[in-house]
Amino acid sequence: MKILIIEDEPSLREVMQRALEQERYVVETAATFAEADAKIAGYSYDCILLDIMLPDGSGLRLLEHIKSLRRRDNVIIISARDSLDDKVEGLELGADDYLPKPFHTAELLARLRSVLRRGRSGGELALTAGNLSLDVDKARVTVDGREVPLLKKEFDILLYFMQRPNHLVDKAVLAEAVWGDHADQADNFQFVYAQMKNLRRKMADAGATAEIKSVYGFGYKLVPPER
């Protein structure tokens, strides 16, 4: 799950980033309107945490822009302004939630989880492919009910594929989704190959009936067993 924090206040931005990274989110940050605008143009996020008062513009205009692009990124507005107008306008523009500052990080994490859960198709918490099951909230993967211990990146890769079975995924797109922005511009994708090799071996050893197949020169796809 990839989150973009748009917040100009450095200490708050760092606190939020640290809290989210501890919860295994991939976190990107932007400190200004211009920086945020560039990130949004180039990348998509599972959720955007959006400060309204930025030094070079209003977060509400960024929200308008995101919605005009018809993107599916969830947005939670984070604002110190004790203004009902901002809240109403933000929600009318299509924000998923509104969190007034100051807030406790536990509150932020709870709101984030709730928005992400609502955003998932059917609100289901477990994804399955054949005898393989992935519980998003518990960060747990099982084959026929037996747990398969995965490292963080292996889990993130598997989650990405289980959200889009049978879709051919370019290795650069995968790198960006799991490692963060700019990983897609890496000189080589050795880090992707290495993690993928370990993940595929663990799935095979556990007896998973679904398989992540490699498509030479392009990327990978998760193939569930035929029924």
Q: Which residue, 8 or 184, has its beta carbon nearer to Ca ion? A: 8
Asked if 98 contacts 77 with a C-beta cutoff of 8 angstroms, the reply is: yes
Whole-angstrom distance, CA of residue 1 vs CA of residue 153: 11
Task: Verify binding: residue 93, Ca ion, rule CB under 5 A.
Answer: no
| 16: nearest Cα among 102, 74, 75 | 102
Contact flag: residue 86 with Ca ion (CB under 5 A): no
**Shortest CB 59 distance to Ca ion, Å:** 8
Closer to Ca ion by Cβ: residue 80 or 139? 80
183 lies in the site for Ca ion, by CB under 5 A: no
CB of 11 to Ca ion, least distance (A): 12
Distance CA 35, CA 39 (A): 6
Interaction with Ca ion in 21-60: which residues (CB under 5 A)? 51, 53
HSE-up of residue 140 (Cα within 13 Å, Cβ side):
10
Closest approach of Ca ion to the CB of residue 18, in Å: 18
Rg from Cα positions in the chain: 19
Q: What is the DSSP letter of 210?
A: S
- CB 100, min distance to Ca ion, A: 13
**5, 6, 8, 16: which one binds Ca ion (CB under 5 A):** 8
Which stretches of the chain bind Ca ion, using CB under 5 A?
8, 51, 53
